[in-house]
A and B are shown apart, each in its own frame.
Chain A
Amino acid sequence: MKGARAVVALLACAALPFVLTEYQATLAGFVGIAAIAALGLVLLTGVSGQTSFGHATFLGLAAYTTAWMSRYGGWPPLAGLPVGLAITGGTAFLLGLITSRISGHYLPVATIAWCASFFYLFGVLPGLGGFNGFGEIPPLFPGITRGTAAALIGVVLIAAFLLCANLLTSRTGRAMRALAQSRIMAESLGIDTARLARSTFVLAALLAGVAGWLFAHVQRYVSPAPFGLSASIEYVFMVVIGGASQLAGAVIGAAIVVLLRDQLTELLPRLLGSSGNFETVAFSIAVILLLHYAPRGIAPTLFRGRGRAVPDRRAWALSTRTMPVEGALVLETVGLEKRFGGLVAAGGIGLSVHAGEIVALIGPNGAGKSTTFNLISGALSPNAGSIRLLGNAVEGRGARFIARQGLARTFQHVKLLPESSVLDNIALGAHVRGRAGMVRSMLRLDRSEEAALLHTACIHADRVGLTDVLSDPAGSLPLGRQRLVEIARGLCLDPCVFLLDEPAAGLRLQEKQALADLLRALRDEGMAILLVEHDMDFVMGLADRVAVMDFGQMIAEGRPEQVQDDPVVQEAYLGGVA
């Protein structure tokens, strides 16, 4: 399917030199170049959730490199490509390292900073022609016409598009989307979010570099202006207009901005009777309106949904661990303590969960259950005490490490990728069991591993009863089934212990019964399960053992009936008498 569309697109490109006029071909060329750059920005912003107001800088780095090399160094234009990409990629890597420490809303600010810095650098470094730049850059090859150039650009765009599309429908692509949705969730599945963020950033820069190289040899003139803050913002606009969540958005956005700008440059001054860059004003107003009313851009309305991965049930499944013997101690905490300032949120916590057992952690509001949960799942580091998973110490090692050791968790507020299919969401859990990186994914060398990952996901989807909705977007499911998706995703980690955070919250009665049945089935298969819950009817009917916390301390433990009858527990819940 995809192959057929690619062939058609290639044929269309081949026809361009014969169909377009010189002016149109120039315009088409610019659309193509902008689209290639915008592809990188879609990957960065739309898919992995980082933003850059400095994207044009990377075009500039490659453009200036190849321009200088071919104009002053006498090198053929083609030689400028690898060198330009090396410089662009290297700079992006360094910037990524430096700014990887910059979190949240400071990051876009950092991109503004370096964009402005590099803009002035381009204009100030000797030999680069100052703020006027320089021209007479050799074309891609001698005697090339505008039409052929446009066709070439088109081919590069198609290639880039295919590589990115391959990336997005792979293990890495899923991880990238997880990165955008929730870092905590991604880390809990063993994904190295920092490294992935840096890699995505470098990839986006490389795409911009390719666009920059093309720009230099098609425009045949470089100056700081097309690589400054205004240009970077324009690329962001393309992505906003076209739609940040789909690759097609890059092409649509680039086309709209470049073509409309061209039209408006002629039209508006005539309408308004004077000169000025009104087309930018028009675009900016359009962007503001889009952000108000259609923040997802245009692409989602044109292209409904992505290709859903089709699982091949004949593929081999991934090998699984041997589950510990029934009754074996799987998870144990001793003297676990966490202090926030002077407050002891959890002190001296000792819990144990065995294979084939469901343990519930309960307690009134503010008792310290969430703190304990976060300590065990690796989201927090304890001040004292130890956590052992199958005998190995895991305290303070972080959520990623614990996930790889075989601990899966769910979240109180479901953290899924709402627009991805249920199958993709579940397959995300198997991330740590795969190895294909970005390059293999882009070149489609990961197919057999991917088939295995997806097959594993199918198996777990069957296990929790989601077979009928595998291709549906996860966000369209009712809450109860979304919880099941999270559980299936956790199962893909091949865990020996499962941590559930208020799994019954917000569920209807039948959903709760289905959930309880599933948990019992998992327990019977040898899983160790620890759940934090407020729904007492749910807990008391399900748990084998119940542990009660109050004011950060463990106050009781035992079978459900014992705990229900315990006067200390009753006092803790109903409250002391004033």
Chain B
Amino acid sequence: MDETIFLALLQDGLTTGAIYVLLAVGLLIAFSVTRVIFIPQGDLVSFAALTLASIISHRVPGTLWLLDGLCAAALVLSLIRGRFRALLPYGVAPAALTLACWAAARYGVPTPVSMLLSLTIVTALGPLLYRFAYEPLGEAAMLPLLIVSMALHFVLIGIALYCFGAEGVSTPALTEASFDTGPIEVSGQSLCVGLVCMVMVGALRWFFVRTLYGKALRAAASDRLGARLIGVDHALSGRAAFALASFAAAVSGLLIAPITPLSYDTGFEIGLKGFVAAVIGGLASYPLAAAGALVVGLLESFSGFWASEYRNIIVFSLLIPVLIWLSLSRGNTEDRA
């Protein structure tokens, strides 16, 4: 292969790799705090793109109704227990959002506003899904949580199919620019993707290292008992973690859709690769997961060129030696008792 192709593949691989970094980091945050492997994160990637496309084509997105439904349920449960402070987050906020979306769909708004609305909807879905699907399981072992994740994935896919149909959507790119750097054309969108990912990872790092809330979340991941003893509410930290994971998914969706059309079920595959990256990081190390994500992206890109049908096989089979290595270097036995 010549230099042009190599660089093109490199750009491709790094771009998708950057997305996987975002998803892997989100997955890790959720896992470290809640022990949930949030497989449905990939479905939220699709949700974001589909929601945006919906608003842009002047239709109120179905995901909004899902959000409203969950908020209503949460509101009712809170009111029954006499917690009237829940009125703001579960009553006023979704109502305002619904109004805004309706207005946006009816009257049309600039694309950035639609993007903001989509991001808000999908980010808000995360903690609600955690609350209703995972929280009731309490401190369950990883396996029931994993089964719930699988089930939730099916639910979300079904909802996406019902609300948005089977067709794929492309959303407007952040920029149509492209730069001719001699050997290849670097697309502006790719640069944007890289930039956004770096900014987000940087922002997350700032949050976790410099703010007390971020540190509290790390504490919840580090030692549950310790966190409880300093007043960190476990349910709240779980929901916060899921909010971050779904935010990562939402941003990813808006970044990918201009490059590759997303439909109701393609987000899952993307999420699965972010999951592979997280596993490469041992479900514990952020730098390793990020490195793994870039490796996955590059592997996908280059094997897509040489042996395109075997692309996915290679990526998923990569997991097995990784897992063996991880188990050997940690070694634990798990008892049911």
Question: Which chain A residues have a beta carbon within 8 Å of chain B's beta carbons?
Answer: 49, 51, 53, 98-99, 101-106, 108-110, 112-114, 116-117, 120-121, 123-124, 180-185, 230, 233, 236-237, 240, 272, 274, 276-278, 280-281, 283-285, 287-288, 291-292, 295, 413, 415
Contact = CB atoms under 8 A, between A and B. Distances in A.
Nearest to B307: A124
Given A276-B158, A291-B151, 10 more contacts: A109-B319, A113-B320, A116-B312, A117-B312, A181-B335, A185-B335, A272-B162, A284-B155, A288-B152, A291-B147
Contact of A281 (B148, B154, B272, B328): B154
A287 B148 CA distance: 8
B159 interface: yes
Contacts of B230: none
B77 interface: no
13 contacts: A53-B150, A102-B323, A103-B330, A109-B319, A114-B317, A117-B316, A121-B313, A180-B336, A240-B147, A278-B158, A281-B159, A284-B154, A291-B144
Interface string B298-334: 0000000000011011001101100110111011111
A284 B151 contact: yes
A237 B151 CA distance: 8
Contacts of A110: 319-320, 323
Contacts of A285: 151, 155
Given A120-B316, A291-B144, A103 B332 contact: yes
B136 interface: yes
Contact of B148 (A106, A109, A185, A288): A288
B327 A106 contact: yes
A178 to B, nearest CB: 10
Nearest to B37: A109
B146 interface: yes
B93 interface: no
Contacts of B137: 291-292
Contacts of B136: 292
B1 interface: no
A99 B335 CA distance: 18
A405 B332 CA distance: 26
Interface string B134-162: 00110000111011101111110111011
B309 A124 contact: yes
A276 B154 contact: no
Nearest to B265: A230
Contacts of A114: 316-317, 320
Interface of B: 37, 133, 136-137, 142-144, 146-148, 150-155, 157-159, 161-162, 272, 276, 279, 309-310, 312-313, 316-317, 319-320, 323-324, 326-328, 330-337
Interface of B (DSSP majority class): helix
A284 B159 CA distance: 12
A295 B326 CA distance: 30
Given A116-B272, A281-B154, A288-B152, A183 B335 contact: yes
A103 B335 contact: no
Contacts of B162: 272, 274, 276, 278
A236 B144 CA distance: 11
Given A113-B317, A287-B151, A108 B161 contact: no
A108 B152 CA distance: 17
Contact of B334 (A103, A274, A291, A292): A103
A285 B129 CA distance: 12
B319 A113 contact: yes
Contacts of A121: 313
Contacts of A281: 154-155, 158-159
A106 B317 contact: no
A106 B276 CA distance: 12
Contacts of B151: 233, 237, 283-285, 287-288, 291
A281 B151 CA distance: 8
A229 to B, nearest CB: 9
A276 B313 contact: no
B323 A106 contact: yes
B152 to A, nearest CB: 7
Given A108-B146, A124-B313, A288-B148, A184 B333 contact: yes
B328 A101 contact: yes
B150 A236 contact: yes
A261 B159 CA distance: 17
Nearest to A236: B147
A114 B317 CA distance: 6
Contacts of A237: 147, 151
A286 B186 CA distance: 48
B108 to A, nearest CB: 26
Contacts of A288: 133, 148, 151-152, 155
Contacts of B331: 103
Contacts of A272: 162
Given A274-B162, A276-B161, A288-B133, A109 B152 contact: no
A102 B324 contact: yes
Given A117-B313, A285-B151, A108 B143 contact: yes
For the complex of A and B, 3 pairs with smallest distance between CB atoms = A281-B158, A113-B319, A284-B151
A556 to B, nearest CB: 34
A181 B333 CA distance: 12
Contact of B336 (A182, A277, A280): A182
Contacts of A185: 335, 337
Candidate in A51, A102, A284 with the most chain B CB atoms within 10 angstroms:
A284
Contact of A105 (B142, B310, B317): B142
Contacts of A109: 37, 279, 319, 323
Contacts of B330: 103
Given A108-B146, A233-B154, A280-B154, A98 B320 contact: yes
Contact of A102 (B152, B327, B333): B327
Contacts of B332: 103-104
A201 to B, nearest CB: 15
Contacts of A283: 151, 154
A287 B151 CA distance: 7
Contacts of A291: 137, 144, 147-148, 151
A284 B317 contact: no
Contacts of A236: 147, 150
A501 B148 CA distance: 37
Contacts of A274: 162
A280 to B, nearest CB: 5
Contact of A113 (B143, B153, B323, B334): B323
B323 A99 contact: yes
B90 to A, nearest CB: 21
Contacts of B276: 113
